[in-house]
Structure 1
Amino acid sequence: MKKWFIPFLGTDLFVGLTLVLAQCGSPAYACPRFVEFFPDPVEVSDQEGEFVEIRLDDFQDIVRPDSLCVQFESKKPFCFAYPAGSSFVIVRDSLRCADFPDASCGLAPSLSLPNSRESEWKLWAGACRDSVLLMRPKAGKSLRRVKDSDEWEVAEPSFSVQPSGEFNPKIRISEIHHCPLEPEPEWVEIYNASDKALSMQQFRFCNRGKNWDVKRDDTLAPFEVAVLTRDTLMLREFFGFKDVRLFQVSMGFLNNTAGSVSVCWGDSVIDSVAWDKSTVECPSGFSPMSGAAENTPGFLGKSRREKGESEEPFTYRLSSRVVRRRGAPLRVYVESAYPVQLRLLDSSGHEEWKTSVPPHSNTWWLVPVAQGAGLGVAYVSLSTGRFEKVLGILLRP
């Protein structure tokens, strides 16, 4: 079956009155229905493992609805273009779509499934309605509808969400400040160099205490950077901006003159860095990948990429940075092993257009600059996980 990725359409739709279970406007076909929820994975992070599956109807010769909307309790609903095929899976990370080869896939990054209480869910598509009240889930188990009944059972998840035996989390130490001027606390920056979200609870500083004491659902998204320190409140004051993710963890004290720090996953050392007096002059921090002084918290600097440790997840080319309204259209070439979100932003950074570029597409994509942005400056954004490139362009008459 061909795999589809369903873009998020928005939520400005009218929600009807009481939703009746599987109520349809015509008896000629079966309506979409919830069939499985997986709220509490144990071997991977919630962001990576959670999913909701909906059984679809092909509608045959009947006019297909334009959209399918899903709502969790009183939260803002998620609406998608009506999917193709017989199954639709909603995930929180587009990189998970590859795990569902026989289903259409929709992205809802902020859709967090409760794992310690009952929950209520609704969906609607055209005249069809479905609503369910789910029992409290069990860790590592899914909640699945029993055939076509209104009963639900605890079962093994239908889709594999276990990490493989060769799983090798690519956490990299990307910056260290071992001797800042007091009272600034010491800090270590880490980088997820993989295409998988990683649970922060699974890691620790080797020989420096227990696993990082963070919230259960705290994850490091694909290609995301975070800063670890003993005192997040004070460090935030020194940084002076809020865009950096900070985590308070047990890390002991770093030696000012000569020392080392390592990140462990279980009994395995994932990355290790050492320094001495010749590495950098205090109070400067440094990048382990270049050995040079650096102070760019939350930002993966050029020096890391020069060492090849943090290879960018995609490459790209623009046909031109200057586009004329009546001239040749803007084309963007994207090459990646991962799904890439391609967006057009106006001069204020507001989204005007977007599309999802599938993995290994390796082709040119037309960007409707002339229709989607006004004259002057605009931007093209390419992103996968938390890694993003924003490129300025100029639209002329």
Structure 2
Amino acid sequence: MKLLLLAALAAWEACPYFSEILPDPQEVEDARGEFAEIRLPEKFRRGTLSVVNEQKKVWSGIVSDTVKRILLIRDTSLCPLLKGLLCRPLTGTALPNSREAMWTLSSPSCADTAKLPIPKAGESFVRSGEAFDAWEWEKPSPGIPNGIFEKGIVDCHLNIDTLIYAENGWRGEWTLSGCDSAEIDAKFSGITAFAEKEWRGTLFRGVRSPFFTYLTADAFHLTVKLPEDDVPGNDFVDSLFAKPGAFPVRFTEVHPCPEEGMPEWIEIYNPALREVSLAQMSLCKDKTQFPSAVSIQKHESIVLAKDTAAMRLYVGNSEVKILPVNFGYLKNAADSLYLCYGKEKVDSVFWGKLTQIQPKCPAGFAVASGRSEDSPGFQTPGSLARDTALPFQVEWNARVFSRKKSANPLMVRIRSELSVTVELISGKGDLLWKKELPAEASGNAWTEIPLLQKGFPGANFLRFSAGSHEKRVGVVLRP
């Protein structure tokens, strides 16, 4: 039995074979995404190959010595640009989605047959088994070797085993896998301080190697360049690390119960001195991953909303960055949010009777202070630090106004033992109008705010301040 197995493996090493087949793609339509992938071993005597599906030829061609893999795909614009990959159109009728299928591959000296079971929507058949005679369902990877199942694949991986903050820097251990050895270049870049350190050295497979960098930043960005191998796309490590409580991105504002017709939204903020990629960030739930191609710049705020069009209409300008994140529905009375980097929770916010934050609907709240706030896309001086109770009380007659209804201006009244400064601020943060109102203990006097004359269409803000205390209220001006 062992001799038969060795003979079978030797045959695979000398002949081309089907390595992956996708009959029923989900991210694109079948007419574009169906594909069959063939691996060509080094010892194969090159020549003409023929591929047959359901007794009909779907491709035939001469293969040169430089080709290591063939990808037959409906839409060749989806082919990755990889060295050694030959990409050609997959012809013939649509692949069956609800029954078994038979594929054959032949050359003057070799042949391969793949009898596939009924497909699963969106998953590829990947060849597996000790003798390469079985099939597994896996996430599609057209044209890219699958190092888990295919033999002889060189795919270097760097695993961070331990990492701790020492007295004068960061100390850890890492291990190389997937290749015998690799020379790596690592760069440690401080997030909260402009400092960079480099590490260069050779790592060997399976050897847990220590490293140390004299970087005292609370959070840092690690990038590591690995040598090119058979599996491109993962030759670069790009990760964030931070001491507990020092992760640079955090929640700053939550609106669980806005006015009717307005979308729920969440605000995150990066107080650090460097930009941070959102590629590995989420709200710690399935389907709440942030858009991977987006970064949050230093001192930038980003609004997360399910309905970005409605949120843009509410904000009223294009300066505020708004990202689509499907976080479901937030509970008004009590709920919680978590911010994750990968699988690690890096920030959280709770509200309800058992916490210090109880939203005063329809207003949102600043996470740091728990007080009411409505400033999507930018931070107020009081939104980043916890404040004591305000020494004044504010009322306003409405939150939405229209220039067509000039008889209904924005009015406010303040009850305070101190004088209070009132400012009208545009959605971009520009000061439009300012006035200091005298102390008024009774709070009976109403003051008109020139929103209709000086405000911009969309979101505007009122800022009330007395000493170090302030309150900000959002109002909407319609044309």
TM-score normalised by length of structure 2: 0.31
State which structure, 1 or 2, has the greater radius of gyration over its C-alpha atoms. Answer: 2
TM-score, L = length of structure 1: 0.37
